[in-house]
């Protein structure tokens, strides 16, 4: 906060006419001022260094610290936004969500980053599909931003042998997606590091890494994360990332039933 300083102007006055000796005046000085002058003179005559009075300091007002949020407050802060984002990923289908691990980390004086994982299920189903999310919560506005989601990870899933049919479909679907989105004439996929997790009896979460071959245009490392419904034979989600794994967030590819 800036402080404005105000001072009284000084004026110089000149007398007119003859110069007269001014009448003697009795000057009254405040005792505190006289004592201060005497002390100053005594110190000036001695060889001791003159002690200076400490400068008056004023504590600067700091921004209020972010309030610590307990488990219930964290869940309340992000539940509505995360559920809405999950529903949007599946074309507005009605879903339920539960939250497991939740963590908050201050980002600046006004925002916190909230990370967590949980499970979601479609209306009428009993099994849970694991998900992870990251969102920013604005303390001043009292609302969470749209979250980044990973669906088909964590939760109560169990690792199973890879489904060869689903894997071939994933490679074909990924090649078609890259041809369409990148304008390539030919794309060949080779996914050789694949983990498959079964969730809610008939959903497969597939995490795959490999190589996308663009022919004369070169090749690129690729990472794919997909959610497959074995009961209906439908791909519900497919995210992909080209280049090294730490190059950025996976992109969301179009998925259709």
Q: How far apart are CA 157 and CA 55, in angstroms?
A: 66
Q: Identify the domain boundary among 102, 119, 151.
A: 151
CATH number of 108's domain: 3.10.450
Residues 164 and 242 in one domain: yes
User: 184 in a domain, yes or no?
Assistant: yes
Q: Can you give the residue range of the structural domain that contains 219? A: 158-253
User: Residue 209 has what pLDDT?
Assistant: 95
Residues 92 and 139 in one domain: yes
User: 24 in a domain, yes or no?
Assistant: no
Domain count, the chain: 2
Does pTM top 0.85 for this prediction?
no
Q: What is the mean pLDDT of each run of 10 residues along the chain (257 residues)?
A: 41 42 45 39 43 42 55 89 95 94 89 93 93 92 92 86 92 94 91 92 93 92 94 92 68 45
Q: Do residues 204 and 227 make contact, with C-beta atoms less than 8 angstroms apart? A: yes
User: Residue 67 has what pLDDT?
Assistant: 59
User: Residue 188 has what pLDDT?
Assistant: 94
Q: Identify the domain boundary among 151, 174, 209.
A: 151
User: Residue 246 has what pLDDT?
Assistant: 55
SS3 for the chain, per residue? CCCCCCCCCCCCCCCCCCCCCCCCCCCCCCHHHHHHHHHHHHHHHCCCCCCCCCCCCCCCCCCCCCCCCCHHHHHHHHHHHHHHHHHHHCCCCCEEEEEEEEEEEECCCCEEEEEEEEEEEECCCCCCEEEEEEEEEECCCCEECCCEEEECCCCCCEEECCCHHHHHHHHHHHHHHHHHHHCCCCCEEEEEEEEEEEECCCEEEEEEEEEEECHHHCEEEEEEEEEEECCCCEEEEEEEEECCHHHCCCEEECCCC
User: 196 in a domain, yes or no?
Assistant: yes
């Amino acid at each position: 906060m800036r402080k404005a300083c105000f001072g009284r102007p000084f004026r110089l006055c000149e007398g007119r006419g003859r110069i007269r000796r001014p009448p003697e005046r009795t000057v009254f000085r405040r005792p505190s001022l006289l004592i201060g002058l005497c002390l100053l003179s005594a110190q000036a005559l001695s060889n001791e260094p003159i002690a200076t009075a400490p400068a008056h300091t004023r504590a600067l007002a700091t921004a209020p610290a972010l309030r610590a949020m307990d488990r219930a407050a964290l869940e309340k802060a992000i539940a509505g936004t995360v559920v809405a984002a999950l529903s949007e990923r599946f074309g507005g289908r009605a879903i339920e969500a539960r939250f497991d691990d939740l963590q908050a980390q201050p980002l600046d004086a006004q925002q916190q980053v909230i990370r967590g994982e949980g499970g979601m299920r479609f209306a009428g189903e009993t099994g849970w599909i694991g998900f992870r999310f990251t969102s920013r919560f604005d303390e001043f506005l009292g609302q969470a931003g749209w979250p980044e989601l990973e669906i088909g990870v964590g939760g109560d899933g169990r690792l199973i042998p890879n489904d060869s049919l689903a894997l071939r479909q994933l490679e074909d679907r990924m090649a078609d997606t890259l041809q369409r989105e990148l304008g390539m004439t030919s794309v060949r996929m080779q996914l050789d590091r694949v983990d498959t997790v079964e969730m809610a009896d008939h959903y497969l979460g597939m995490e795959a890494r490999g190589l996308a071959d663009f022919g004369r245009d070169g090749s690129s490392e690729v990472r794919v994360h997909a959610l497959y419904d074995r009961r209906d034979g439908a791909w519900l989600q497919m995210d992909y990332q080209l280049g090294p794994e730490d190059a950025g967030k996976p992109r969301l590819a179009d998925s259709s039933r």
